[in-house]
Structure 1
Amino acid sequence: MKVRIGIVGCGVVGTGTVKLLLENAHIIKKKTGIDILLTKVADKDWERPREIEVPLNLRTYDYMDVINESDIVVELVGGKTFAKSLILEALERGKHVVTANKRLLAEDGFEIFKKAKEKGLYIGFEASVGGGIPIVKALREGLVANRINTIYGILNGTTNYILTRMLEDHMDFSHALELAQKLGYAEADPSLDIDGWDSAHKICILSMIAFGRYVPFEDVYVEGIRDLDLLDVELGKELGYTLKLLAISKRTDGEIEVRVHPTFIRSEDALAKVSDVYNAIMIEGDFVGKTMFYGKGAGSYPTASSVVSDIVDIAKKVLFCSKDHDEFQWENQPIGIGKNFYSRYYIRFDVPDKPGVLAGVSRVLADYNISIASVLQKEKVCKLARREGEATVPLVILTHKAYEKNMQRAIEDIKKLPIIVGQPVIIRVEEEAY
């Protein structure tokens, strides 16, 4: 069977995909019997240097050439406006689509998947989450017999690299970010990564697959690492925790929580040991238990591998005339998104070095049914904070589990106390066995 493939966007991932298809098409044919023919590659700039020289007969500036001469259109331009128009146009003209566009699927997936269903077409999106990690296929196929209960993910390599440098090399955030940019791990404008939006797009997509319902992106709780202090990373280490930007999706009382934020996890846990630019996703199903997927979450070749995996999957479905179940059930109401998280908390206050301070804070916490699990010794905190001789000292508290709403109300009341200087630092602590 011969399948014609066209690609729109020949940047980092597009170049890797072209290279893979040109070099390994014979391997794919040998393994699957499918003859993949790359017909057109569209890009707006063919003068910029690339790792490979795309053959002249494949190049075009017009994306319509790709749509007209392909059975499967691969969208690798990113962004929302043009990418969305391209995908909808391809679907309207009866073309299957493969995309790595996590933002588009998370924010406008409802419209896109509805259009594909109406046309009886397939959309492949393995490359939208986890780069070369086959996490979408695992959820859709390998774990299909399970009721998924939780997903914990380190889904952004840039932030994981920054946090690794802060933890292991005692770098502050700005220097770790600068190093990440120098090495090409962070963009000149790193906002999507460090503010948590990239991870939020990915956990939104995974949640929709895992729970089989539409998850409005605006209901995902997002908090990034831009304002993290090296002191808190090091204090967490003293308490036996490692700080990660964690993407969390879990069932809770008929709803699901979908959130991204800096999170302390136990240093002995597997996810805590995922360092540098690597990604990892821990999934718990009711029958399979806990499984972990690990690998490079971005990059030209790993992501290209996922793109081509989708191409082959769609080609097989077309060959065998299969009809996929509508896994997202778009016609139903969106699933309820819980916002009142139940978690432990790490809190750091700047307070005067005098008696009675802890008592004042603990009284307010008690008013909101929040109990203190431990207080880090002042001497140890001051040594790490290097604040000898200053008028204020850090007061570090670790709580037992409490509800998010109670914690936020308690913090607002504590901030009104005359003993509190500046803004408190609050970091959630997850202690599930992962």
Structure 2
Amino acid sequence: MRSPLVSASALFWGFQFALLNPVLALLLVGLYDASPTDVGWVLAVYNAAGFLAAIVIPAWADRSRNYLLPLLLCGVLTLCLAGALAVTTSLPVAVVALVVFGGPAGVGVSLLFADLKHSGAPPSAVINTRAIVSFAWVAGPPAATFIMGALGNRAILPVLAVVAILNGITTVAMISKRRSALADGSGDAPAPVATAEPVARSLVVTVVIAFVLLQATNSAAVSILSLFVTERLHLPLLWSGIALALSALLEIPALLLIGRLSDRFSGFALLASGCAAGVVYYAAMTLLRDPVTLLAVQPLNAWFFGTVAGVGLTLFQDLIPRPGLASGLFTNTRRIGAIVSGGIIAVGSSTALGYGGVFLICAVIALAALGLVAVVRRQAGRTRAG
């Protein structure tokens, strides 16, 4: 299964929502005359649907031990979503389409990683595949805004439909390849779902809390960076875009390097290095005063989020012996973290440091998460040794 088809599938699934999610608010306003209040509640409902789907659909796939057929279904739902949004001018209909089609369709990436784990892929392969998804998120948002700026807001929907079709084609090809390999004896059946020794539920809860905190710091930092740059550093808004773009670009080689290092170092060790880099990055952001330093610390941010995104996924898959549930639960730490980030921003920005206080709180939270990771590492080692 670890073939060019997997890489192509990761790229297309990454593009699918890298094209839609960053411009969804703009679509709601431009196509359906949504007010700012409408945008808020629609996005909340849409994300809630995605949260539930990320638990229910992977759990169903775990029971059937088949991740490619649900993956194909997610591609079909994406095509339905693009069609529904293209033909309607009604906001309520668009909301129904986002909930019924968009929420479940967003589980596609989780299912792809679950299938990788189920088919016996090592952590390095999972992390390298995650780097491809990151590339799609670097290229997707500017491509979407360019298309919408040149051809109109609705023009992004046919593009989304084409990507959904490509997702379907690659998934069908993977299904066919696997069946052919099994039929002629040239391939082995996927490994059983239970590929890791189970650990105590309390440890799973602890690692979920740690990753919610880590994801929350990243979400808060990204959300307020433009305000930090303009109001605290008194720099043009352009610098925040440059900093975010640099961090996103560096995340790809960081993930590739993490993938290679995963064969030599444990996931816990790599994650600890990422948490430490995050603490240093957030602390540095409270002290810097010029654009050169702003850019100079972005490699720390890239390493931090690279370990959270790449090692975090493989860690969940190692601790939770159900690949679908593990991938879906990891995906949802991002959604919950985004909610928690609102509180971080509210408290941090009210301090004497202003928006710098947000980064200071993020440094403290990242340090606390590092402590939780250390606890999980020690307890998991004892459980498996016993």
Q: Same fold (TM over 0.5)?
A: no
Structure with higher strand content? 1
Question: 1 or 2 for the larger relative contact order (CA 8 Å, sep ≥6)?
Answer: 2
Structure with higher helix content? 2
Q: Structure 1-normalised TM-score?
A: 0.28
Q: Structure 2-normalised TM-score?
A: 0.30
